[in-house]
Amino acid sequence: MDREQAAIVIDGACRAYELPDLSRLVALHEVDLTIPTGSFVSIIGPSGCGKSTLLRLIGGLEQPDRGTVTVDGMTPKQAAADKRLGLVPQGAALLPWLSVLKNVSLPAKVNRRHNRTPLPDMEALLRRAGLGDAMYKLPSELSGGMQQRAAIVRAFGLRPDVMLMDEPFSALDEFTRESLQEQLLDLWEETRSTVVFVTHSISEAVRLSDQVIVMAPRPGRIVETIDIDLPRPRTPELVASQEFHAYELQIRDHLRFAFDHSEVAASEVGEA
Protein backbone atom coordinates (compact mmCIF):
# COMPACT_ATOMS: atom_id res chain seq x y z
CA MET A 1 0.00 0.00 0.00
CA ASP A 2 1.19 3.52 -0.79
CA ARG A 3 1.56 4.95 2.71
CA GLU A 4 1.53 8.51 1.39
CA GLN A 5 -2.02 7.97 0.10
CA ALA A 6 -3.29 6.14 3.20
CA ALA A 7 -5.80 7.89 5.46
CA ILE A 8 -4.07 6.82 8.69
CA VAL A 9 -0.47 5.74 9.29
CA ILE A 10 0.74 4.63 12.73
CA ASP A 11 4.42 3.82 13.26
CA GLY A 12 5.67 2.22 16.46
CA ALA A 13 3.07 3.89 18.69
CA CYS A 14 3.48 3.23 22.42
CA ARG A 15 1.32 4.53 25.26
CA ALA A 16 1.66 3.75 28.96
CA TYR A 17 -0.03 5.05 32.10
CA GLU A 18 1.31 5.42 35.63
CA LEU A 19 -1.10 3.83 38.11
CA PRO A 20 -1.79 5.01 41.70
CA ASP A 21 0.27 2.11 43.11
CA LEU A 22 3.23 3.41 41.05
CA SER A 23 3.04 0.46 38.67
CA ARG A 24 3.00 1.04 34.92
CA LEU A 25 0.23 -0.06 32.56
CA VAL A 26 1.36 -0.51 28.96
CA ALA A 27 -1.83 0.28 27.02
CA LEU A 28 -0.17 0.10 23.60
CA HIS A 29 3.18 -1.38 22.60
CA GLU A 30 4.87 -0.88 19.23
CA VAL A 31 1.68 -0.54 17.19
CA ASP A 32 2.12 -0.29 13.42
CA LEU A 33 -0.98 0.23 11.28
CA THR A 34 -1.79 1.62 7.85
CA ILE A 35 -5.47 2.21 6.97
CA PRO A 36 -6.45 2.80 3.32
CA THR A 37 -8.47 5.85 2.41
CA GLY A 38 -12.20 5.15 2.18
CA SER A 39 -12.04 1.78 3.92
CA PHE A 40 -14.10 0.49 6.82
CA VAL A 41 -11.80 -0.98 9.47
CA SER A 42 -12.89 -2.56 12.75
CA ILE A 43 -10.69 -2.98 15.81
CA ILE A 44 -11.60 -5.90 18.06
CA GLY A 45 -10.13 -7.38 21.19
CA PRO A 46 -10.84 -8.09 24.85
CA SER A 47 -11.17 -5.35 27.44
CA GLY A 48 -7.83 -3.75 28.25
CA CYS A 49 -6.22 -4.38 24.89
CA GLY A 50 -5.91 -0.68 24.02
CA LYS A 51 -8.69 -0.34 21.43
CA SER A 52 -10.04 2.93 22.79
CA THR A 53 -6.54 4.23 23.51
CA LEU A 54 -5.63 3.65 19.87
CA LEU A 55 -8.78 5.49 18.79
CA ARG A 56 -7.87 8.44 21.03
CA LEU A 57 -4.38 8.60 19.52
CA ILE A 58 -5.89 8.74 16.02
CA GLY A 59 -8.33 11.43 17.17
CA GLY A 60 -5.60 13.55 18.75
CA LEU A 61 -7.15 13.24 22.21
CA GLU A 62 -3.92 11.69 23.50
CA GLN A 63 -0.31 11.66 22.33
CA PRO A 64 1.87 8.55 21.97
CA ASP A 65 4.82 8.26 24.34
CA ARG A 66 6.84 6.99 21.39
CA GLY A 67 6.09 6.60 17.70
CA THR A 68 3.99 8.68 15.32
CA VAL A 69 0.39 8.95 14.14
CA THR A 70 -0.65 10.79 10.98
CA VAL A 71 -4.10 11.44 9.53
CA ASP A 72 -4.23 12.55 5.90
CA GLY A 73 -0.51 13.28 6.13
CA MET A 74 -0.81 15.59 9.15
CA THR A 75 -0.87 15.24 12.91
CA PRO A 76 -4.20 14.21 14.45
CA LYS A 77 -4.53 17.62 16.12
CA GLN A 78 -4.04 19.35 12.78
CA ALA A 79 -6.58 17.01 11.17
CA ALA A 80 -9.09 17.75 13.93
CA ALA A 81 -8.57 21.50 13.56
CA ASP A 82 -9.15 21.11 9.81
CA LYS A 83 -12.44 19.28 10.52
CA ARG A 84 -11.18 16.09 8.90
CA LEU A 85 -12.15 13.95 11.91
CA GLY A 86 -15.56 12.89 13.16
CA LEU A 87 -16.36 10.97 16.36
CA VAL A 88 -19.29 8.80 17.43
CA PRO A 89 -18.97 7.85 21.14
CA GLN A 90 -20.79 5.10 23.00
CA GLY A 91 -23.52 7.50 24.11
CA ALA A 92 -25.52 9.70 21.76
CA ALA A 93 -24.86 12.92 23.76
CA LEU A 94 -27.68 14.85 22.10
CA LEU A 95 -28.70 18.24 23.48
CA PRO A 96 -32.04 17.59 25.22
CA TRP A 97 -33.59 20.98 24.43
CA LEU A 98 -33.05 20.78 20.65
CA SER A 99 -35.02 18.78 18.14
CA VAL A 100 -33.31 15.92 16.34
CA LEU A 101 -32.94 18.02 13.19
CA LYS A 102 -31.40 20.92 15.11
CA ASN A 103 -29.06 18.53 16.94
CA VAL A 104 -27.67 17.03 13.76
CA SER A 105 -27.45 20.43 12.03
CA LEU A 106 -25.66 22.13 14.92
CA PRO A 107 -22.04 21.12 14.04
CA ALA A 108 -22.23 22.88 10.67
CA LYS A 109 -23.46 26.05 12.37
CA VAL A 110 -20.82 26.18 15.12
CA ASN A 111 -17.90 24.97 13.00
CA ARG A 112 -17.55 27.88 10.62
CA ARG A 113 -14.11 26.67 9.58
CA HIS A 114 -15.37 23.42 8.11
CA ASN A 115 -14.16 22.82 4.56
CA ARG A 116 -16.83 20.42 3.36
CA THR A 117 -19.04 22.18 0.83
CA PRO A 118 -21.72 21.74 -0.05
CA LEU A 119 -22.89 20.14 3.19
CA PRO A 120 -25.33 17.25 2.87
CA ASP A 121 -29.06 17.70 3.19
CA MET A 122 -29.51 16.78 6.85
CA GLU A 123 -33.23 16.15 6.44
CA ALA A 124 -32.45 13.68 3.67
CA LEU A 125 -29.80 11.96 5.80
CA LEU A 126 -32.26 11.65 8.69
CA ARG A 127 -34.84 10.11 6.40
CA ARG A 128 -32.24 7.70 5.08
CA ALA A 129 -31.43 6.71 8.66
CA GLY A 130 -35.10 6.00 9.38
CA LEU A 131 -35.67 9.20 11.34
CA GLY A 132 -37.90 11.07 8.90
CA ASP A 133 -40.85 11.01 11.29
CA ALA A 134 -38.71 11.90 14.30
CA MET A 135 -36.67 14.87 13.08
CA TYR A 136 -38.80 17.44 14.91
CA LYS A 137 -39.00 15.47 18.16
CA LEU A 138 -36.83 15.99 21.23
CA PRO A 139 -34.25 13.31 22.14
CA SER A 140 -36.29 12.32 25.20
CA GLU A 141 -39.08 11.22 22.87
CA LEU A 142 -36.81 8.73 21.07
CA SER A 143 -35.64 5.24 21.90
CA GLY A 144 -31.96 4.60 22.59
CA GLY A 145 -31.48 3.18 19.12
CA MET A 146 -33.07 6.20 17.46
CA GLN A 147 -30.90 8.55 19.52
CA GLN A 148 -27.80 6.67 18.39
CA ARG A 149 -28.93 6.93 14.76
CA ALA A 150 -29.18 10.69 15.21
CA ALA A 151 -25.67 10.78 16.67
CA ILE A 152 -24.32 8.93 13.64
CA VAL A 153 -26.08 11.29 11.22
CA ARG A 154 -24.70 14.25 13.19
CA ALA A 155 -21.15 12.90 12.93
CA PHE A 156 -21.43 12.33 9.19
CA GLY A 157 -22.95 15.79 8.72
CA LEU A 158 -19.65 17.58 8.11
CA ARG A 159 -18.46 14.80 5.79
CA PRO A 160 -15.26 14.09 7.73
CA ASP A 161 -12.45 12.31 5.94
CA VAL A 162 -12.02 9.97 8.93
CA MET A 163 -14.82 8.77 11.20
CA LEU A 164 -13.90 7.29 14.60
CA MET A 165 -16.55 5.14 16.27
CA ASP A 166 -16.06 3.80 19.80
CA GLU A 167 -18.51 0.92 20.32
CA PRO A 168 -21.53 3.04 19.33
CA PHE A 169 -23.95 0.09 19.43
CA SER A 170 -22.72 -1.63 22.61
CA ALA A 171 -25.75 -0.68 24.75
CA LEU A 172 -28.37 -1.75 22.20
CA ASP A 173 -30.29 -4.98 21.79
CA GLU A 174 -29.30 -7.31 18.96
CA PHE A 175 -32.20 -6.47 16.64
CA THR A 176 -31.67 -2.71 16.98
CA ARG A 177 -27.94 -3.22 16.56
CA GLU A 178 -28.39 -5.05 13.27
CA SER A 179 -30.75 -2.37 11.98
CA LEU A 180 -28.24 0.36 12.82
CA GLN A 181 -25.44 -1.58 11.14
CA GLU A 182 -27.40 -1.46 7.89
CA GLN A 183 -28.05 2.27 8.20
CA LEU A 184 -24.44 2.96 9.10
CA LEU A 185 -23.29 1.16 5.97
CA ASP A 186 -25.79 3.19 3.91
CA LEU A 187 -24.31 6.44 5.22
CA TRP A 188 -20.77 5.18 4.71
CA GLU A 189 -21.53 4.19 1.12
CA GLU A 190 -22.80 7.72 0.50
CA THR A 191 -19.94 9.64 2.16
CA ARG A 192 -17.04 7.17 1.78
CA SER A 193 -15.31 8.45 4.87
CA THR A 194 -12.56 6.25 6.24
CA VAL A 195 -14.15 4.54 9.26
CA VAL A 196 -12.30 3.14 12.28
CA PHE A 197 -14.83 1.21 14.33
CA VAL A 198 -14.14 -0.25 17.80
CA THR A 199 -16.25 -3.24 18.77
CA HIS A 200 -16.38 -6.30 21.00
CA SER A 201 -18.64 -8.16 18.57
CA ILE A 202 -17.01 -10.56 16.12
CA SER A 203 -20.07 -10.82 13.87
CA GLU A 204 -20.44 -7.03 13.81
CA ALA A 205 -16.80 -6.63 12.79
CA VAL A 206 -17.14 -9.12 9.93
CA ARG A 207 -20.42 -7.69 8.70
CA LEU A 208 -19.23 -4.09 8.59
CA SER A 209 -15.59 -4.24 7.65
CA ASP A 210 -13.16 -4.37 4.79
CA GLN A 211 -10.50 -5.24 7.35
CA VAL A 212 -10.50 -6.40 10.97
CA ILE A 213 -7.63 -5.54 13.33
CA VAL A 214 -7.30 -8.10 16.15
CA MET A 215 -5.70 -6.82 19.37
CA ALA A 216 -4.49 -8.52 22.52
CA PRO A 217 -3.95 -7.20 26.07
CA ARG A 218 -0.97 -7.04 28.45
CA PRO A 219 0.43 -5.18 26.58
CA GLY A 220 -2.06 -3.79 24.07
CA ARG A 221 -0.85 -4.74 20.62
CA ILE A 222 -1.99 -5.79 17.17
CA VAL A 223 -1.68 -9.54 16.63
CA GLU A 224 -3.43 -9.98 13.29
CA THR A 225 -4.92 -8.03 10.40
CA ILE A 226 -7.65 -9.88 8.50
CA ASP A 227 -9.00 -8.74 5.13
CA ILE A 228 -12.72 -9.49 4.82
CA ASP A 229 -13.17 -10.57 1.22
CA LEU A 230 -16.96 -10.67 1.12
CA PRO A 231 -19.21 -8.86 -1.37
CA ARG A 232 -21.29 -5.86 -0.44
CA PRO A 233 -24.03 -5.38 0.51
CA ARG A 234 -23.70 -7.89 3.35
CA THR A 235 -27.18 -9.38 3.08
CA PRO A 236 -28.82 -11.58 5.75
CA GLU A 237 -28.20 -14.54 3.45
CA LEU A 238 -24.49 -13.70 3.32
CA VAL A 239 -24.33 -13.26 7.11
CA ALA A 240 -25.75 -16.79 7.46
CA SER A 241 -23.30 -18.29 4.97
CA GLN A 242 -20.35 -20.58 5.62
CA GLU A 243 -17.98 -17.96 4.21
CA PHE A 244 -19.13 -15.43 6.80
CA HIS A 245 -18.85 -17.91 9.67
CA ALA A 246 -15.36 -18.90 8.52
CA TYR A 247 -14.20 -15.34 9.13
CA GLU A 248 -15.86 -15.35 12.56
CA LEU A 249 -14.01 -18.54 13.48
CA GLN A 250 -10.72 -17.15 12.19
CA ILE A 251 -11.05 -14.01 14.31
CA ARG A 252 -12.14 -16.00 17.38
CA ASP A 253 -9.10 -18.28 17.05
CA HIS A 254 -6.75 -15.29 16.87
CA LEU A 255 -8.39 -13.71 19.91
CA ARG A 256 -8.10 -16.93 21.91
CA PHE A 257 -4.44 -17.43 20.96
CA ALA A 258 -3.57 -13.80 21.74
CA PHE A 259 -5.27 -13.92 25.13
CA ASP A 260 -3.56 -17.21 26.06
CA HIS A 261 -0.15 -15.71 25.26
CA SER A 262 -0.67 -12.29 26.83
CA GLU A 263 1.28 -13.02 30.02
CA VAL A 264 4.32 -14.11 28.02
CA ALA A 265 4.15 -10.92 25.95
CA ALA A 266 3.84 -8.82 29.09
CA SER A 267 6.99 -10.34 30.57
CA GLU A 268 8.89 -9.72 27.34
CA VAL A 269 7.89 -6.04 27.40
CA GLY A 270 8.95 -5.78 31.03
CA GLU A 271 12.38 -7.21 30.21
CA ALA A 272 12.89 -4.93 27.21
Phi-psi region of 169 (alpha: psi -120 to 50; beta: other; left: phi over 0): alpha
> What stretch of H or E contains 152?
helix 144-156
Is 48 or 266 the better-scoring residue by pLDDT?
48
Which of 69-83, 88-102, 151-165, 182-196 has maximum average pLDDT? Answer: 69-83
Are the C-beta atoms of residues 132 and 27 closer than 8 Å to each other? no
Mean pLDDT of 45-72: 92
What integer pLDDT is reported at residue 14 of this predicted model? 95
CA distances from 26 to 23, 200, 210, 220, 262 (A): 10, 20, 28, 7, 12
What integer pLDDT is reported at residue 187 of this predicted model? 82
Mean pLDDT of 121-133: 84
Q: How many CB atoms lie within 10 A of CB 136?
A: 10
CA distance 180 to 151: 11
What is the per-residue pLDDT across 145-161, written as a single tens digit (0 to 9) for each?
888 888 888 888 778 89
CA distance 213 to 127: 32
What integer pLDDT is reported at residue 214 of this predicted model? 95
- Phi, psi of 202, rounded to the nearest 5 degrees: -65, -45
Q: What is the percent of the chain where pLDDT is above 90?
A: 48
Mean pLDDT of 98-126: 75
What is the per-residue pLDDT across 209-256, written as a single tens digit (0 to 9) for each?
999 999 998 889 999 999 999 999 888 899 999 999 999 999 999 998
Rounded to two decimals, the pTM is 0.86
What integer pLDDT is reported at residue 179 of this predicted model? 81
What integer pLDDT is reported at residue 43 of this predicted model? 96
Q: Is the pLDDT of residue 12 over 90?
A: yes
Q: How many CB atoms lie within 10 A of CB 229?
A: 8
Tell me the domains of the chain and their CATH numbers.
Answer: 3-271 (3.40.50.300)
What integer pLDDT is reported at residue 1 of this predicted model? 56
Mean pLDDT of 18-23: 76
Mean pLDDT of 175-192: 84
What integer pLDDT is reported at residue 118 of this predicted model? 61
CA torsion, points 111, 167, 34, 80, in degrees to nearest 10? 10
